[in-house]
Amino acid sequence: MDEDIKIKCQDCGEEFVFSAREQKFYNEKGFVPPKRCKSCRNARTLRRNKINY
Ligand SMILES: [Zn+2]
């Protein structure tokens, strides 16, 4: 696993790069690969924060 892969974002349908370095990081942390691009993830995080406060 040392190649960048492309994942289609579940929210906006755009393809985004899941880099080899990120894959390694996610693997080490035991995270599942992201399903959304960075901007959609940021948007979701912001929305969640707004609900909390
Ligand atoms: Zn997206």
One pLDDT digit (tens) per residue for the chain, 53 residues: 589 999 999 999 999 999 999 999 999 999 999 999 999 999 998 888 887 65
Q: What is the pLDDT of residue 52?
A: 65
Q: What is the pLDDT of residue 49?
A: 83
31 alpha carbon – ligand 1 mean position (Å)? 19
SS3 of residue 15 by DSSP: strand
32 alpha carbon – ligand 1 mean position (Å)? 17
42 alpha carbon – ligand 1 mean position (Å)? 9
Question: Among residues 22, 52, 15, which one has the least CA distance to residue 37?
Answer: 15
Instruction: Sketch the domain layout of the chain as residue ranges.
Output: 5-52
2 alpha carbon – ligand 1 mean position (Å)? 23
pTM: 0.74
Q: What is the pLDDT of residue 33?
A: 93
Instruction: Report phi then psi at 43, rounded to 5.
Output: -60, -40
